[in-house]
Amino acid sequence: MGEFVRVEISEHIATIRLDRPKMNALNRQVQEEIAEAARLVDADPNTHAVIVYGGERVFAAGADIKEMAVMSYADMAVHSRTLQDCFTAVARIGKPVIAAITGYALGGGCELALCADFRVAGQSAKLGQPEITLGIIPGAGGTQRLPRLVGPAKAKELIFTGRHVDAAEALAIGLVDRVVPDGEVYTAALELAATFAGGPVTAVRAAKLAIDHGLEADLDTGLEIERLQFSGLFATQDAREGMTAFAEKRRPKFTGH
């Protein structure tokens, strides 16, 4: 679809494929193409799960430093909102999203991976937020999504030092969910995505919304979000089908309605 980002859909699984040689640097064009791809798969009723993949060599090594180096405060004050919006479009895909991480996922690449629901990494993958070494801080969600995932103390250590973590440490601190041999990253992501294909997509969307929005609120507000999403599903055909199938001791046939 775009020059550097394309969407491939097969068996209800969409792959958002980054392809900007050599390191998938996330310049403004790539950011906008990622957002467009995210909106496309979110709206596609035939897509039940999404994989974000940078290829066999690298996930994304970060922002395009040459592009940023010439930007003034006034430029970045405007662009930073677009930057965050592009990444947030991935986080708001109402379907399970899996980041398939090979090679480097640094800076903006790590922030893109943080927008996924699950992260599968190759054994030689390296993740981190090295922006501090450039005299800046993460600007595409790293200071917010990373501490929510690994805790504030670990996030501060990684962001304050800018150091890279290998796949084993990333797994230990909860930054990734699974580590596999480098050549099996995309296959492992496909296997995980396949567990969601054919499921009740409306219920999955409701569950994701309840979890994500609930984490940003106090418990009482979160419970109210859950209650409204839970109740609303009783207006769907999938809920009726699921409960009827259970009573009739058969597999449900969900349609997304």
Encode burial over 101-140: b for 16+ CB neighbours within 10 A, e otherwise.
bbbbbbbbbbbbbbbbbbbbbbeebbbbbbbeeeeeebbb
How high is the mean pLDDT of the chain?
96
| pLDDT for the residue 76 | 92
Question: Is 216 considered catalytic here?
Answer: no
* pLDDT tens, position by position, 115-148: 999 999 999 999 999 999 999 999 999 999 999 9
| pLDDT for the residue 192 | 98
Residue spans per domain, the chain = 5-194, 201-247
**Candidate list 131, 157, 184, 241, residue with the active-site label:** 131
Question: Is 11 considered catalytic here?
Answer: no
* pLDDT tens, position by position, 143-173: 999 999 999 999 999 999 999 999 999 999 9
> From CA 38, how far away is CA 160, in angstroms rounded?
30
| pLDDT for the residue 66 | 87
Shortest CA distance to 124 belongs to which of 176, 173, 192? 176
Confidence of residue 228 (pLDDT cuts 50, 70, 90): very high
| pLDDT for the residue 42 | 98
Rg over CA atoms, the chain: 19
**Candidate list 67, 111, 226, 248, residue with the active-site label:** 111
| Residues across the chain | 257
* pLDDT tens, position by position, 71-99: 899 999 988 999 999 999 999 999 999 99
**Could you tell me which residues come within 8 angstroms of residue 240 by beta carbon, excluding any fewer than 6 positions away?**
none
| pLDDT for the residue 50 | 98
Torsion angle of the four alpha carbons 116, 8, 31, 206, in this order, in degrees rounded to the nearest 10: -40
- Mean pLDDT on 206-217: 96
User: Is the model's pTM score more than 0.85?
Assistant: yes
| pLDDT for the residue 68 | 87
Token digits of residue 22 = 């050599």
Domain 201-247: give its CATH code: 1.10.12.10
% of the chain beyond a pLDDT of 90:
92
| pLDDT for the residue 62 | 86
Token digits of residue 237 = 């055909």
* 81-to-28, 153, 166 alpha-carbon distances in Å: 12, 26, 30
**CATH class of the domain whose range is 5-194:** alpha beta
% of the chain beyond a pLDDT of 70:
100
